[in-house]
Structure 1
Amino acid sequence: MATAEETDLRLALFPDVHASERLLKWRPGLTTPTTLLLSSGSPLPASNHLNLLVAQTLQAALEPSTRTNYGYSIGIFIRFCFDLGLCVSQIFPISEGLLLAFVCAQAGSRAKKTVINHLSALAAWHETWGLRWHRFDVVDRALQGVGKLAPAHLPLRPPVELSDLLSARLFLHTTTNPLHAAVWACALMSFWSACRLGETTVPSAAYFNPARHVTRAAVGPLRTTSDGAQALAVELPWTKTTRQDGMTKVLSSQAEELDPVHALRWHLSVNSLPGLDSTATALFAYKIRAGPGWRMTPLTKVTMLNTFSEALRLAGRPTFSGHSFRIGAATYYWHRGASVDEIKLLGGWASDSFRVYLRDPVLGLAPLQQRFGAPSSASQSL
């Protein structure tokens, strides 16, 4: 049982804040030396102010989702220590024995990658506060054991297929419901251009940044290709792999209900208001009631998935995670004979990492064997 003094100290060091704020708001112990020192060892003038700027800048280098995940990892470590009955003065600086115990306590219940992420969070936390971080050689050896003792892998996430899209479309009222029009257009763009949902949606309605999230101004003019198809480009301002260099995604017309070009243009016409600034409006923002009129709100990842999943449930189909759209795109193109380089180009992959997304190798590899297999007896006799 912690003493009253210890409880007060814990509340001071680890206040009740959202996980994404813990890197800056939680302190790794009482001693937090300055990160800004001269060669003489003396602190820079106004170092308190500059140290705060350094901490904020280091935190900004991490993606919002990474900051949140790191915050949860730090919380897991602190809870582990408190459950052992340790007080703050015994936790910091983190000893070899304590870190080793933390890592080994997760053997058999956590994947090696998860434990490594916990350690990365602790490292980032210490760096943010200007504290030296050391992982110790024995901890690295223990990680090898964690990998061998890890539980069985979870089943692979299934791909979204054309039949899933068509089933959901039956229960999305795109002509009368602005949200449904936005969700349908977003689903088709995410599928056909193999987008991450983080590239087509926003993390929350309160967090929309035109420098990071695609806007309506990013949609290029409609063009007709040499084979008569309609196509347009969408310029993403930022992606996970290219960062601020962004990426060009292309949508081309498809058959009937699955046409992403038509769905996008319909969404843009339905979800519009007079005087709308296309450079400051999320691509898949939609209209919601605001008193007697309307206002626009960005389409969040949660809202998109919840709406699409509800349509699938009404259709009696299983639901999917957000990444299933990108998995579905890679698998779809593979099953139709696209080469590795073509799939990489369509999805914007910088490496062959997308191979882990490919599902049902029979449908993907059998056509390849058929093309390059043994010739028929008739052709052999020629």
Structure 2
Amino acid sequence: MRFRPSWLLPLAAAAAIFWLSAQSHYPGGLELPPPLDKLAHATVFGLLALTLDLALRTSSPGLPMYKRHLAVVALVALYGATDEWHQRFVPGRDCDGLDWAADTLGAALALAVAYLPLVFTRRLGWSGWRRGTPARPHPDRDLVLVADPHWGRALTGLEAATTAHPEADWLFLGDVFDVWVGLPGLETETQRAFLAWVDARRAAGRWVGLWLGNREYFLDRHADRLDLLGEGMGGRLEGEALAWEHGDLINTADRQYRLWHLVSRSGPLWLLFRLMPARLARRVSSWLERKMRTTNAAYRLAFPRAAFRAAAAAHPGTTFLTGHFHTHEVEANGIALPWAHEGAFMVWRGGKVEAL
């Protein structure tokens, strides 16, 4: 984590809170009777949470949103407890445990309110993250592109393509499985077999990247097993005119899904799955997968051509790729890759995208 000027904001906010708590009365003799005093606590500590979130986003781009928000709420709660303890020694001030509860709740609500407007814009990139190296050691090699294989109990086509193209690098553009929750006890034997395949490819000196789609959750614990692992917008290869995202965030009109995108990558949902017994969590993830097959079909059946063209235009001078739409479409510099069903993979070769 690098120190950025954005860290000056939470430091200034924390210092201001400490100074205010050291006063026997609010500035100007202001009196705030309950519950306005609790509202003031929630507001001030909510602002502290927002400045912390900004600092972490700019200094730690490899930190997923759920971890970032859990860290922010934990830091604010810890600072709030310290602040309450400090007030015990200030004449005329009372130490109220409800103030600490307001501090913590204010932090959580501030994050939720600040991120909710992202449902209506392309700025959902705030929810994205990236770890690893976006540069291939041998950019002259073929790069096999796999979008939306939706594997279940078999890695259809993977072994055959590996045998036929042993020198190639690999990039997976999301929805690798019907659903993949990367928490201990929830991964399937097929998913573990895929990770073993990744290990073997990297041991052979091949570059392997995975960009998460709308059916992968909490996979950041596998980041060290891949050359590149990321989510959201902003995928690219340095030194090559290639950029991408999964495609689920292209259509800004699909607000129902965009809200689900934020909720499904949030700290509370991660905590819920971590606290569930593994058997129940597997049943819930399977239920989610079934629901996703049929929910919001109106937005998934029609290709959002104008939105796709606008997203591609934001990456001039590159070939911009997505998966997600299960159809092969070309708009200016943008290419939506076809569904990688039954091993129908594509390849980036010589600066062009073609069928493998």
TM-score (normalizing by structure 2): 0.29
TM-score (normalizing by structure 1): 0.27
Which of the pair is proportionally richer in strand?
A: 2
Higher relative contact order (CA 8 A, sep 6+): 2
| Larger of the two Rg values belongs to structure | 1
